[in-house]
Structures are given as structure tokens and as C-alpha cells.
Amino acid sequence: MSNQELTPVPGPVPARKRRIKIVWVFLGALLLTVLAGSVAGYFAGQKLFAEQKQASILSFDIEQFQLAKIDIAAGQFRRAAERLDAILKNEPDFPGAEDLKTQALAAMNATPTPFPTSTPVPSPTPDAPRAEQLLAQATQQFTDKKYVEMIGTLLTLKVEIPGYQPERVDGLLWVALRYNGVHLIKETNRLTEGMYYLDLAANYAPLDGEAQAQIKFATDFLAVYQSAYYYRNKDIEVSLGYFRQAVSIRPYYSDTLIVDYADILVQNGDALVHDNACAAWWYYDQALLQVPGYEPAVKGWNYAQENCDQSGPVPPEAYGPPA
């Protein structure tokens, strides 16, 4: 055997790990953030554009509807029918437009065609720049969803320059009143105030389907809400039913609604606790789900649990889902 040492065969050199510089990670995250913001901004802009377009169409339709009624009163039935056709093209279910068009067509067929007359040239309005400035301001306020300010701007225009395009101004007033009323009902708890604004809007033109639906919602909810409190000290079972409905529809309507609902649950539990501890236990359970730690419910819960012969609370037979 040779005294020379064997040279070990070197193994494969491990591949060098590629390290991603932190700056590229940061730039990638930044790019994703910018892209996400751009997408969100795009959709927000699309929504705003759609709202502005809808308001513009509504304003046009209302203006044409009012002008059509003026045309009919003046015997201009063909012009009225054309205006109503334009409205129905935009909104086939525009309230009253189809009936008014039928009226105009019937009158047009029954009236001899008059000889053409020259159309008087309207005289220029010296206050037009001021009026257009106020209209532009109202349009911007609509874009910013400042409906109350928009109403104030349009009323200022009606007072300062009462003869300036009254149909156009009234159409925009309808838009402002309508949008503010719907906003108050859908996005706040000022339901009565929202109904008031929609009632004012109806003085200018018929309300659309969504506005009518919001009035119905507010009317029905307030009837339930008021009944809950009306029966609170008269019939706790009836009151409980109305409270359940109110909470299922709009639990955040008032600061005290949930606490008052828990209280009426406790009252129903108290009424049963000596005769049916298991059902009372269930009422106290429900109250604690609404207001955790509610002291009257905790007190009743402990007593009912001790005196119930079942392994858990038992809902009363008549207690079903909210009507």
C-alpha cells in the first residue's frame, strides 16, 4: 500500500442561493397598493358618473313632463306627445307620462291642424350669468352629495331670478329633494325627515319607484317601532312581538332600542319564572344575547336555571320567528 494519502473527490458545489433584495419587495408591495387604489378609484368614479347621469336624466324627464302639461294647456298636443315620448324612452315607467301622452294624442286627433305661425324670438335674460352660476353651483353640490345646500342654492335662484327657466329649476329641485329624502331614510335614522323631503319632491313631479319604496319602508318600520313602545306598559307579549320585528329590521334605529328589547324580554321572563322556569330561562338567555351582562337578566337567569327541571332553557311554544 502506498504511503501517499488519497485525495478526496470533491462533491458538487451547492448552488448559490439567490437573494431578493428588500428594495424589490418594497417596490412590488408599493406597486400592488397603487394598483389596488387605482381600481378602487376607478369603480368609485364609475359609480359617481352613473349617479350624475341618472340625476341628469331625471331632471330632464321632470322638466319635459312639466312642459308637456303646459303644451297641452296651450293646445300644442303634438309637441307635448313628443316630449312625453322622450320621457318614456328614458324611463318607460315614469309616473303619469303614459296617461298624459294618451291624453295628448286623443286631443291631437280631435283638433284640426292649425296653420303654422311664427315662433316669437325670446328676449335675452340679463340675469342669465348669475342664474347659470347658481345652477353650476347646484350641480357641483349634487356631485358632492350636499343635497341640503343644493336645495338652498336652487331656492335662492327662484327668489332672485324667478322667471329663469322655471321648469329646469323645478326639475333640479325635485332631484335634490328626492335624493336627500332617500339618503335620510336609507343611510340615517332620520326617517320622518326623509319622508318629509320626499313629500316635498312629490309637489314638483311624481316620485320614482325607489323613492316610493323608501316611503313605504319608513312608514311600515315606524308603525312597528311605535307599536312596540305603545304596548310596552299595556301588554308585554304584544310589545315583545313588535320589538322583535323592529330589531330584525333596523337594530341601530335608536340608542335605546336594543336595551329596551332586552328589558321587554326580561319582563316576559319574569312573568313566567314561577310557573315555567325553563321558558323564563330562555327569555333571560335572549336578553343576555342582546345586552351581555344585563343585570336584570343575569339575576333572573340564575333563579330560572336553579328551578328548571330541564338540562337547558326551553323556548315557549308560541315563540316563532318575527312576523
CA distance 168 to 205: 12
* Residue range 206-254, pLDDT digits in tens: 899 999 999 999 999 999 999 999 999 999 999 999 999 999 999 989 8
In the DSSP assignment, the letter for residue 205 is S
Does pTM top 0.75 for this prediction?
no
* Residue range 158-196, pLDDT digits in tens: 999 988 989 889 989 999 999 999 999 999 999 999 999
Average pLDDT for the chain: 80
Q: What percent of the chain has pLDDT over 70?
A: 73
DSSP per-residue letters across 112-168: PPPPP-PPPPPPPPTTHHHHHHHHHHHHHHHHTT-HHHHHHHHHHHHHHSTTS-HHH
CA 262 to chain centre: 28
Q: How many Cβ atoms are within 10 Å of 105's Cβ, its own excluded?
A: 15
* Residue range 130-166, pLDDT digits in tens: 889 999 999 899 989 999 999 999 999 999 998 898 9
In 3D space, the residue among 222, 296, 277, 206 whose CA is nearest the CA of residue 254 turns out to be 222
Q: Is the pLDDT of residue 4 over 80?
A: no
Q: Which of 61-70, 73-82, 112-121 has the weakest average pLDDT? A: 112-121
CATH number of the 231-307 domain: 1.25.40
Q: For the chain, how many helices (H) and strands (E)?
A: 12, 0
Q: How far is CA 233 from CA 236, 237, 264, 267, 276, in A?
A: 7, 10, 10, 10, 22
> Which amino acid makes up residue 38?
S
Backbone torsions φ then ψ of 216, nearest 5 degrees: -65, -45
pLDDT at 78: 80
CA distance 36 to 14: 40
